[in-house]
């Protein structure tokens, strides 16, 4: 009875105190308290999501834009930046078609295609990544995959009852890839399954969507979050926007790999997915997949391993004796993997694979519609109709090369990668970022502007990738580089020498823009410039 007496006494005291106020005042006070609580909750959530620094900068910039004339000035500068970026791409729309020709050209159109193609950049041997097949497009493996594609260019695996051959090719591509990514290992569970997609981004999107829905069904998570290192591919940010998932990005450690302790601190009741990369796109280093697998298993969340770059190199590099740490389904906790056939798998552009540990997870990838007047509908990937020619091309690429072909290709590109790394280390003004595990070599400088070096190297025909945090460049080594890597190192040495002797941006170079973009504190403004550029070029 003492508890009841205490509650009655407390209620009487509250009623006595509140009786001196008008009911309308109490109602408004309650509403005000709710408003303050909601505002405080939103503020704290924004701090948690963006950080105090970004929030303060965003508030200051929003306030500054209210000053008369400032918004107009900012818009003018954005337009200048977009125009400069567009001009650097050498894209001239003056002769672009805006309507169908009144009379079709027939086979003459092939001449138009050849003419347009002749104006493209000379990519042979000079692009970071991009073209992974050696040789030229009129012979060898190029010719083989092109011919395979043309044989099935009008097929569509959506109609499996008609194009049984393409359905078979897809199943075999998935099974062959799964076989060298751990499906034959006892630890995998023996249920590895998957599908072909249009590229690494779609593979990642599907893995994220499947993980979200799987964890919702398993744990009832309705406010999903995923955790990834800042070096993880931007496709995860795209997935987050598409599928309404909160992203928690954590810094990399001093070795430029995912910080496992930082990831552990971010795990909460809404976590659906942890991401690891093997290797990460920027620096070519492999995240500690085994440790991430332990985390995923301990907290019962999904773990996706991004093998888009490494899927068709790491298994073979390991067979060749390179010290490659565990990265595939043999690691406990890994629930999905993405691997691109159109990179080191040497398949035609537009071919990738998403794999799952079991069918229970993969079923969340599918979309089934039962109430459509057009009949029953089910689709495995984001696309409905899919080009069977690409599937056939990927199958032809893998079967024609075989294990021996991939081993030989890997031997060549790994050797060239190590030679390029050694050559860069011998240039006093440059240093390697991290410890490259594969065929991506990132480098920077503490004494010269690395983006000015990039402009000089670009003027010599090379196409490297510009990185940030820290400002740096990387080259993704392919078979195209095997015969010309010495030329690259010579041009890089000369470019470094020129920048050191004559520091400062070259005319038409993008170094000032890259440098400015990295220093602008308002990242929302940089985002706006990127969107304006994309809107103006597509």
* pLDDT, one tens digit for every residue, the chain (538 residues): 567 777 777 787 777 776 787 778 768 777 888 888 787 777 666 666 666 665 565 666 566 566 666 566 556 665 666 666 566 555 567 788 889 999 999 999 999 988 888 888 777 778 999 999 988 776 889 899 999 999 999 999 988 889 999 999 999 999 999 999 999 998 899 999 999 999 999 999 999 999 999 999 999 999 999 999 999 999 999 999 999 999 999 999 999 999 999 999 999 999 999 999 999 999 999 999 999 999 999 999 999 999 999 999 999 999 999 999 999 999 999 999 999 999 999 999 999 999 999 999 999 999 999 999 999 998 999 999 999 999 999 999 999 999 999 999 999 999 999 999 999 999 999 999 999 999 999 999 999 999 999 999 999 999 999 998 899 999 999 999 999 999 999 999 999 999 999 988 887 676 666 665 665 666 666 677 677 766 767 7
Provide the 3-class DSSP secondary structure of residue 297: helix
Distance, CA of 301 to CA of 282 (rounded, Å): 26
What is the C-alpha to C-alpha distance for residues 265 and 263, in angstroms, rounded to an integer? 5
What is the distance between the alpha carbons of residues 204 and 226, in angstroms, rounded to a whole number? 13
Strand residues in 185-311 grouped as ranges (E):
193-197, 225-229, 246-250, 271-277, 302-306
Tokens, residue 437: 């595990």
- For position 515, what pLDDT does the model report? 64
Give the pTM.
0.85
Q: Among 486, 506, 510, 509, which residue's Cα sits nearest to residue 498?
A: 506
Q: Does residue 250 sit in helix, strand or coil?
A: strand
What residues does 337 pair with on adjacent strands? 305, 355
Alpha-helix runs per DSSP H in 65-130: 70-88, 109-118
Using the CB atoms, write b or e for 12-46: b if 16+ within 10 Å: eeeeeeeeeeeeeeeeeeeeeeeeeeeeeeeeeee
Backbone angles phi, psi at 438, to 5 degrees: -140, -120
Q: Which of 487, 508, 490, 494 is nearest to 124 (CA)?
A: 487
User: Both tokens of residue 275?
Assistant: 């991401």
* DSSP one-letter code for 144: H
The dihedral built from the CA positions of residue 381, 387, 393 and 395, taken in this order, carries a sign that is: positive
CA distances from residue 532 to 57, 87, 520 in whole angstroms, order as listed: 21, 14, 17
Q: In whole angstroms, what is the distance from residue 460 CA to residue 462 CA?
A: 6
Closest CA to 173 of 399, 468, 434: 399
Beta carbons of 472 and 444 less than 8 angstroms apart: yes
Distance CA 393, CA 105 (A): 29
Report whether 233 contacts 384 (CB < 8 A). Answer: no
Q: Quick one: which H or E segment has residue 437? A: none
- DSSP labels, 337-358: EEEETTTTT-PPSS-EEEEESS
């Amino acid at each position: 009875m003492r508890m009841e007496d205490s509650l009655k006494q407390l209620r009487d005291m509250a009623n006595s105190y509140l009786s001196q106020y008008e009911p309308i005042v109490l109602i408004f006070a309650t509403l005000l308290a709710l408003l303050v609580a909601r505002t405080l909750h939103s503020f704290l959530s924004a701090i948690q999501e963006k950080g105090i620094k970004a929030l303060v900068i965003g508030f200051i910039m929003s306030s500054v834009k209210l000053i008369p004339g400032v918004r107009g000035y900012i818009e003018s500068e954005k337009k200048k930046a977009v125009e400069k970026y567009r001009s650097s791409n050498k894209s001239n729309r003056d002769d672009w078609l805006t309507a169908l020709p009144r009379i079709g050209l027939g086979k003459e159109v092939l001449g138009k295609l050849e003419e347009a193609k002749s104006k493209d950049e000379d990519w042979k041997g000079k692009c970071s990544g991009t073209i992974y097949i050696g040789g030229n497009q009129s012979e060898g493996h190029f010719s083989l995959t092109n011919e395979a594609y043309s044989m099935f260019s009008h097929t569509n695996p959506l109609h499996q009852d008609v194009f049984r051959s393409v359905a078979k090719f897809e199943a075999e591509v998935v099974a062959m890839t799964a076989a060298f990514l751990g499906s034959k290992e006892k630890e995998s569970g023996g249920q590895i399954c998957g599908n072909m997609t249009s590229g690494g981004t779609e593979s990642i999107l599907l893995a994220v969507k499947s993980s979200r829905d799987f964890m919702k069904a398993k744990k009832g998570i309705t406010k999903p979050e995923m955790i990834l290192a800042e070096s993880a591919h931007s496709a995860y940010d795209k997935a987050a926007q598409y599928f309404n998932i909160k992203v928690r990005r954590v810094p990399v450690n001093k070795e430029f790999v995912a910080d496992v302790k930082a990831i552990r601190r971010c795990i909460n009741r809404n976590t659906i997915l942890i991401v690891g990369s093997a290797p990460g796109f920027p620096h070519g280093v492999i995240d500690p997949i085994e440790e991430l697998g332990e985390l995923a298993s301990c907290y019962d969340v999904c773990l996706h391993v991004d093998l888009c770059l490494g899927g068709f190199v790491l298994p073979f590099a390991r067979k060749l004796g390179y010290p490659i740490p565990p990265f595939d389904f043999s690691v406990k906790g890994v629930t999905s993997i993405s691997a691109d056939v159109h990179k080191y798998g040497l398949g035609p552009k537009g071919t990738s694979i998403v794999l799952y540990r079991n069918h229970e997870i993969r079923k969340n990838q599918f979309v089934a519609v039962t109430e459509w007047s057009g009949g029953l509908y089910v689709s495995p990937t984001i696309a409905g109709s899919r080009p069977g020619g690409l599937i056939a091309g990927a199958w032809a690429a893998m079967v024609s090369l075989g294990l021996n072909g991939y081993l030989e290709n890997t031997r060549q590109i790994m050797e060239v990668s190590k030679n390029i790394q050694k050559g860069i280390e011998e240039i006093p003004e440059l240093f390697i970022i991290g410890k490259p595990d594969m065929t991506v070599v990132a480098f920077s400088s503490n004494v010269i502007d690395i983006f000015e070096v990039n402009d000089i190297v670009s003027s010599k025909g090379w196409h490297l990738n510009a990185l940030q945090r820290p400002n740096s460049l990387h080259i993704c080594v392919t078979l195209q580089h095997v015969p010309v890597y010495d030329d690259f190192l010579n041009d890089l040495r000369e470019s470094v020498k020129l920048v050191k002797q004559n520091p400062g941006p070259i005319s038409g170079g993008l170094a000032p823009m890259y440098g400015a973009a990295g220093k602008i504190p308002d990242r929302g403004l940089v985002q706006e410039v990127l969107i304006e550029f994309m809107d103006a070029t597509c």
